[in-house]
Amino acid sequence: MNGRDEVVVALDVGGTGMKCALVRPDGTTVHTERHATDAGRGPDAVVGTILDVAEGLAGTARAAGHTPVACGIAVPGVVDETRGAAVWSANVGFRDVPLRELAATRLGLPAALGHDVRVGGLAEARLGAGRDAGHVLFVAIGTGIAAAHVVDGSAATGAHGAAGEIGHILVRPDGPRCGCGRVGCLEAVASASAIGRRYTELAGAPATAAEVADRAAAGERLAGDVWREAVEALADGLATGQALFDVATVVLGGGLAQAGPRLFDPLRGALRERLTFHREPRLVAAALGDEAGCLGAALLALDTLAKESR
Ligand SMILES: [Zn+2]
């Protein structure tokens, strides 16, 4: 910071909407806006909207007296952060889109492309619920389950951009079929969608995961069984995560984490039962809400900038 009020143009692109922000290097947000992704239009149109929105944000920043210094974009799916390419995404339809280069060219700014859950984890580890720990596992539980392993403020991407797919750990070999095609993955049992689906199947009446949690807490037996099955599967997945990563803090985000103590209390107990010589991690709820993706995209862009100027 040298007197100029520097900001990063940040976009978190999801299947239905884009969260966008201008973020200062200290992680404070000076402006936010939202746009529809409208993925049904096809990937080219979505890329066009991303570039238009990013350019618009840079203009908004300049008009307000800020200096845009970089652009960070988060997308779902498989992301090759080294090449800056959105390799594959089921819900946005990307197939090998060189989004980083496209954004850098359009904005005339250094750009970074990150995976939505990995940058969310980056933000939680550096600015949110994991900020006092050097080793953090961020686990987002919503329609699917994905994780980010963050060590000293940097998220591991894997050799092919696919690190952190904790939702596809095998936990129930005779369990339900997963969206990936295999049987018994963690997210086929314990994602918010899986919990709702399982209850609906058994009860013959539709319910969301939040409603299952409410009914379980109110003493309904069927809901209690479904909830317990999901918590135990989650504990199996987290125990595997802890065996691999030995983190100090596990941050749970996504819709299911909003169940609060109904999730965290039994999950802590179930995880404790599964750990032998491994140290028990602190299990906490995410702190940044749905801003995490934008903040993380901004952090990734700032990291890229710092590396380039070295
Ligand atoms: Zn799977």
Closest by CA position to 291, among listed 120, 60, 144:
120
Per DSSP, helices labelled H in the chain are 43-63, 99-107, 116-126, 186-190, 192-203, 209-217, 221-245, 261-274, 292-308
Distance from chain centroid for Cα 250:
13
From the CA of 46, how far away is ligand 1's center (Å)?
27
- What percentage of the chain has pLDDT greater than the value 90? 94
From the CA of 78, how far away is ligand 1's center (Å)?
14
From the CA of 169, how far away is ligand 1's center (Å)?
7
* pLDDT-derived band at 32, boundaries 50, 70, 90: very high
Per residue in 227-286, pLDDT (tens digit) is 999 999 999 999 999 999 999 999 999 999 999 999 999 999 999 999 999 999 999 999
pLDDT at 9 over 80: yes
* pLDDT-derived band at 91, boundaries 50, 70, 90: confident
From the CA of 198, how far away is ligand 1's center (Å)?
16
- 252 neighbors 124 (Cβ within 8 angstroms): no
From the CA of 176, how far away is ligand 1's center (Å)?
10
pLDDT at 199 over 60: yes
From the CA of 132, how far away is ligand 1's center (Å)?
32
Q: Rounded to 10 degrees, what is the CA torsion of 177, 180, 182, 184? A: -50
From the CA of 104, how far away is ligand 1's center (Å)?
34
* pLDDT-derived band at 3, boundaries 50, 70, 90: low
From the CA of 15, how far away is ligand 1's center (Å)?
19
The rounded mean pLDDT for the chain is: 95
pLDDT of residue 286: 98
From the CA of 185, how far away is ligand 1's center (Å)?
5
From the CA of 236, how far away is ligand 1's center (Å)?
15
Q: Return the residue matching tokens 């392993």.
A: 149
Mean pLDDT throughout 100-126?
Answer: 97
**The whole model's pTM is what?**
0.94
pLDDT at 1 over 90: no
